[in-house]
Structure 1
């Protein structure tokens, strides 16, 4: 496919994954209805979209990030790549974690917001601030960026292994073994390493497979990949083996990439490209809407279900309005918060 079509497809996938990840954090059946029989049906529906459909989003993010990083990669690009990611990932990671910490500190001291925050009075201290910045203590959705930073730091190791197809085989065997056995590779999640490494391997060794123009052949390969993913999920339901769930979450984004015809996609609108900002602010928006709604709206099943399904679109609209204001009134703050990403 042409470069313009490739970029368009990336924008669309990032935007759609951003909407899906909002569903992961939007579950509200218990908040509105408690744990009684009345909430069971709503809980089941929300659980399916949050913990089945929505959970393919972050693996998709890992795979897109890895592919873009290792696409056309060579050793002499390492420092430039690292310097670029300091700006686009590390700096926003630090800034947003501090913003969330200060937000909790302030809100936890304001009557009426303490209950919404739900953490009591958050202590204001340099060590608490350092912990919040380093360990995403008050911004736990940034666990993804934490893992991504670790994976980017491992670039020399990963590239050295993955560019050699024979070395990649035992490497993937160890990672798969770690997932199956529930191991933790120090601070690195084995499933995050798996998603990232598979896409990195494709970016290094199989660009022609990933970027060939859509065709009927690619469509049917996508159908097979989707079928394999569904089979893994069905088997997971019976065996509760973590590796099967990870394979479902790997194969689903791959199948979608193969199934979607980039030639039929419209150009991504500018507001659809603010995905990092949407990811950063969505949890605060979701929590505010759900907590406020639980105070003032009727506690009947239709209310939480409606809010749940429109939540991604509410977050997209609110974050887009915030983005417009920031770009207009404080473009330097916008660049800092988003790492100077393309908009």
Structure 2
């Protein structure tokens, strides 16, 4: 079990990867070649399209599977039947309530914006009616905030978590369950509540949390212990921390080498799966394998390096996830409108790429400014919108 400094390192690493995956999600929704090209199809625009597609699809699409893996691991880590009610209760506040509130906010925002001709083209909707039925559609079908399909799926996964735990609690039964899900994905035996691929990601992480926690967290155990025996006994001393609370400097070299080797193996597997995924008429299973391999590879590398201290602006994962789409849409469409006279030119291609790669930073800055405002002046609203998350560690 990870204790002391190792426990802190574990949660900091979770926060780091959550932030990294949030950046990837922003890039998924930042594609803008169609807005700046003016229909041009020459070489420069083909290159811009390939660059943005690689980042948005090749990297961006691993973000949500990464969220599923981390969310599941956190849910089933230290899990027991006695803890189920408490875990469900905490997820009501951290997942369900923010999901409902944000979907209503998006609906009200779109409804209001659709009534102003000047910004109707930006939101891309005709006049939206105000009714109880439309509110229900907004919440039950995430009709005005498609980005919340992830939370929608996560809610169903949390609901069926007792069944998942019952299946993976036994090593052999758990392996059969995961193999069965692999075949279900391969044979396109799709479900909606939850999706089969989401159930696969969630179940794999649950299995690791229940049976292979030592493998996932062993570098943190070694780091926290410092591998120093106390006066000839087998009891290990806690590793010293620096002024930022980091202990990675005392990870033994062989642990770093092992993590690096595991990361390199993950890169090889990820590249192999990516090449198979991009082949014509590729089986969907390669996509699932790729989207699991990359987050696991990120975890392996992170275990063997000294991660910088987590900053408050990196802890706003739920709020950033919820608000980034609005920021991305307005920046992309606003910049395209301002530079309309350059549409289709080489200059416009450069602008589109610069905007594309800057959008994560812009979204983080805007989100953090709003988050700080809410924390200071409307803390109750912040708790609801963020799912009870704190900016400070």
TM-score, length basis structure 2: 0.85
Aligned to 1:215: 256
Deviates more, 1:19-28 or 1:292-301: 292-301
Which residue is equivalent to 1:258? Answer: 300
Partner residue of 2:46?
A: 40
Is 1:234 the counterpart of 2:282 in the alignment?
Answer: no
Query: How far apart, CA to CA, are the structure 1 residues paired with 2:189 and 2:356?
Result: 34
CA distance in 2, matches of 1:210, 1:47: 32
**Which residue is equivalent to 2:143?**
137
Conserved in 2, the CA contact under 8 Å of 1:6 and 1:262? no
Deviations 1:183-218 (A, max 9, x none): 212422111111111111111111111111153123
* 1:11 match: 15
1:308 aligns with 2:356: yes
The yes-or-no answer on 1:225 pairing with 2:266 is: yes
5+ residue gaps in structure 2? 220-254
- Per the alignment, residue 336 of structure 1 pairs with 384
Name the structure with the higher helix share.
Answer: 1
Distance 1:342 1:325 in 2: 13
1:136 CA displacement: 0.7
The Cα of 1:225 is off from its aligned counterpart by 2.0
- Pick from 201, 219, 233 the counterpart of residue 195 of structure 1: 201
* Aligned: 1:53 with 2:63: no
The alignment status of 1:28 with 2:76, answered yes or no, reads no
CA separation in 2, counterparts of 1:118 and 1:75? 47
Give the match's secondary structure for 1:215: helix
> What do the CA deviations read for 1:42-62 (whole angstroms, capped 9, x no partner)?
111100000111111111111
Structure 1 unmatched ranges of 5 or more: none
- How many positions carry a matched residue from both structures? 343
Give the distance between the partners of 1:78 and 1:241, measured in 2 at CA.
36
| 1:246 has 2:288 as partner | yes
**Higher deviation after alignment, 203-212 or 163-172:** 163-172
Partners of 2:191 and 2:179 in 1: how far apart? Answer: 14
1:91–1:339 contact (8 Å) kept in structure 2 = yes
Instruction: Quickly say closer, same or farther: Cα 1:123–1:316, change in 2 above 3 A.
Output: same
Measure how far apart 1:236 and its partner are: 2.1
1:79 match: secondary structure? helix
Matched, 1:274 2:274: no
Q: Report the Cα distance in structure 1 between the residues aligned to 2:70 and 2:214, rounded to whole angstroms.
A: 16
Q: Which residue of 2 aligns with 1:90?
A: 96
CA RMSD of aligned residues (A): 1.3
Deviates more, 1:152-161 or 1:255-264: 255-264
8 Å Cα contact 1:67/1:203 also seen in 2 = yes
Q: TM-score scaled to structure 1, two decimals?
A: 0.97
